[in-house]
Structure 1
Amino acid sequence: MGILYAILIGAAAGWLAGKIMKGGGFGALINIILGIVGGAVGNWLFGTLGIQIGSGLVGDLITGVIGAVVILFVAGLFKK
């Protein structure tokens, strides 16, 4: 159940991050990967800053989206 949860939250987070960063997304698989990696980056970032978003579905989704947006922002810096 944990893997399925991570995939579903990752897909939603990756899709939302693509919309926030004015992209149309990168396809389902890349969005899932981006969201899962974004969740890890968001957890690390918030842990480093001492910020707690909360627990549960909404907290995981917010963390994943913010982490994925950070990844897209950094990738955009290297793209130019």
Structure 2
Amino acid sequence: MNILAWIIVGGLAGWIASMIMGRDAQMGLVANIVVGIIGGIIGGIIARALNLGPGFEGFNIYSLLIAIVGAIILLFVLRLVRRGA
């Protein structure tokens, strides 16, 4: 997948995940993109480990959903780490 698709899917996934997790007001565009891209990687690893498909591949709804789930997991773990620190 090219870099533009990673940025678009990452931005959408990060934004949707931040709204679901109640962090939308605290995150900007760059943070949403970074969280979405890392979430896509996390979601892809989990999807492959559970044999749910190819993971995060291409610009499609499945990849967006995988990235959103991964971004939610990332934001949840970050919230736990910040509370413990």
Q: TM-score, normalised by structure 2?
A: 0.85
Q: Give the superposed CA RMSD.
A: 1.9
Partner of 1:59: 62
Query: Runs in 1 of length 4+ with deviation above 4 angstroms?
Result: 53-56
Residue of structure 2 aligned with 1:74, choices 48, 72, 77: 77
1:45 lines up with 2:53 in the alignment:
no
Q: Give the match's secondary structure for 2:44.
A: helix
Q: Give the match's secondary structure for 1:52.
A: coil
Rate the CA distance shift 1:19–1:53 in 2: closer, same or farther, 3 A: farther
Amino acid at match of 1:27: G
Is there any run of 5+ residues in structure 1 with no aligned partner, and where? none
Q: Is the 8 A contact 1:13 1:61 kept in 2?
A: yes
Partner of 1:26: 27
Amino acid at match of 1:44: I
Q: C-alpha separation between the residues in 1 aligned to 2:79 and 2:22? A: 12
Partner of 2:11: 11
Identity %: 35
Is there any run of 5+ residues in structure 2 with no aligned partner, and where? none
Q: TM-score, normalised by structure 1?
A: 0.90
User: When the two structures are aligned, how many residues end up with a matched partner?
Assistant: 80
